Amino acid sequence: MTTADLCNLLYQYIMKSTLKKIGILTSGGDSPGMNAAIRAVVRTAIYYGIDVYAIRRGYQGMIEGDIHKMETTDVANIIGRGGTILKTARSKEFMTKEGMQKAYNQLQQHGIEALVLIGGDGTFRGAVEFFESFTIPAVGLPGTIDKDLSGTDSTIGFDTAVNTAVEAIDKIRDTAEAHDRLFVVEVMGRDAGYIAINSGISCGAEDILIPEQERNMDEILDRIDHDERRKKTVHILVVAEGEELGGAKEVYDRVKERFPMLDTRTCVLGHIQRGGSPSFADRVLASRLGYASVLALMENKTQVMLGIINGEIAYTPFTNVIKQNAPMSKDMLDMIRVLSV
């Protein structure tokens, strides 16, 4: 046995003596890749001699004691599945002192010493308040298709959601070409336009409307008029659901008012973007973060969200993980105008 092997065994022994049981949950909106993260957490923890307990239905399941011990076989063949095998829920009860007390009592009953939380901004805000009252250590993994969290270059599910939107918009363009139609396509992104701008650029959209950028509807209508005059008869407008002008329905109404003769349709992609088998990028991201989350707890790095910045694992305190509404790259916004000519 080499010196490195001995060191590894000693390290495992020390960690086993200090951390014996962790809980894992998914909370908020589901995103492709959550199952890959669950798999990585469970198998990494068991490798280091730590018991893992599944907490089903997020914080609500914690309150109700929907908690079960997991084995490596429980996460077999889930790396490519969408959704979350732990299910998810939003819990108003958890945001009360009484609800948190019930959740704490359940964790105590099962001997759970720390938590791995997979979710978004609301999930981590809940963890901060819970820690302040009961000092339960936790680490978070960014599971949201919107990519609207600071502290990471990407989030679990974003890449898959964009690819889903791209595939759908490509198909919409096929029928738009066949009928000379204008389509207003709404994608998810209540507070952030990352899905809209990336899918729109990938599909050659004639215009993209996002929450981060103020737009004048008259300017958009003038561009449509200009395109019509030069016989460009197909238009794809990609709109983020939280866009300032109000989403696909409102944009459609303005277009139809100005151009009643145009064959104009709307398509809201909606929750189709949440489902489906995760892309390779989301599987790798989720696996890296799931593995690193267990090591972080073993090293007493807690109350942080793990992310990837410039290819490396990054740790951001929950209190600094906020929904970001940063301005989009001016180069990308300018490029949209040039490439849609």
Question: Which tens digits make up the pLDDT trace of 66-105?
Answer: 999 999 999 999 999 999 999 998 888 999 999 999 999 9
Residue 110 is part of which domain span? Answer: 3-157+278-320
Q: Determine whether 121 is an active site residue.
A: no
- 329 in any annotated domain: no
pLDDT at residue number 10: 53
Return the percentage of the chain with pLDDT > 70, whole number. 93
Alpha-helix residue ranges (DSSP H) falling in the chain: 3-18, 34-47, 58-64, 97-110, 121-134, 158-179, 194-202, 217-229, 248-258, 280-298, 330-339
User: Do residues 71 and 92 share a domain?
Assistant: yes
HEC string of 210-257 equals CCCCCCCHHHHHHHHHHHHHCCCCCEEEEEECCCCCCCHHHHHHHHHH
pTM (2 decimals)?
0.89
pLDDT at residue number 268: 95
User: Do residues 310 and 194 share a domain?
Assistant: no
Please choose, from the candidates 74, 79, 58, the residue with its C-alpha nearest in 3D space to the C-alpha of residue 282: 79
User: Do residues 53 and 98 share a domain?
Assistant: yes
pLDDT at residue number 225: 86
Question: Which tens digits make up the pLDDT trace of 29-76?
Answer: 899 999 999 999 999 999 999 999 999 999 999 999 999 999 999 999
The domain boundary, picked from 240, 274, 308, lies at 274
pLDDT at residue number 232: 78
Residue 17: pLDDT over 60 = no
Domains identified in the chain, total number: 2
Tell me the pLDDT band of 3, cut-offs 50, 70 and 90.
low
Please choose, from the candidates 149, 151, 129, 150, the residue with its C-alpha nearest in 3D space to the C-alpha of residue 138: 129
- 325 in any annotated domain: no
Longest dimension (CA), the chain: 80
pLDDT at residue number 336: 75
326 vs 251, more confident: 251
180 vs 329, more confident: 180
Q: How far is CA 15 from CA 46, 176, 217, 232, 293, in A?
A: 12, 60, 59, 65, 14
* CATH number of the CATH domain containing 85: 3.40.50.450
- In eight-state DSSP terms, residue 156 is B
User: Do residues 140 and 9 share a domain?
Assistant: yes
Tell me the pLDDT band of 172, cut-offs 50, 70 and 90.
very high
User: Do residues 53 and 146 share a domain?
Assistant: yes
pLDDT at residue number 70: 97
Please tell me which residue in 146, 148, 207, 227 is annotated as part of the active site.
146
User: Do residues 29 and 60 share a domain?
Assistant: yes
pLDDT at residue number 25: 97
User: Do residues 22 and 115 share a domain?
Assistant: yes
* Token pair 């969200």: residue: 305
Task: Give the burial string for 283-294 (b: 16+ CB within 10 Å, else e).
Answer: bebbbbbbbbbb
User: Do residues 29 and 138 share a domain?
Assistant: yes
User: Do residues 267 and 307 share a domain?
Assistant: no
pLDDT at residue number 338: 77
User: Do residues 221 and 253 share a domain?
Assistant: yes
- 91 in any annotated domain: yes
User: Do residues 139 and 30 share a domain?
Assistant: yes
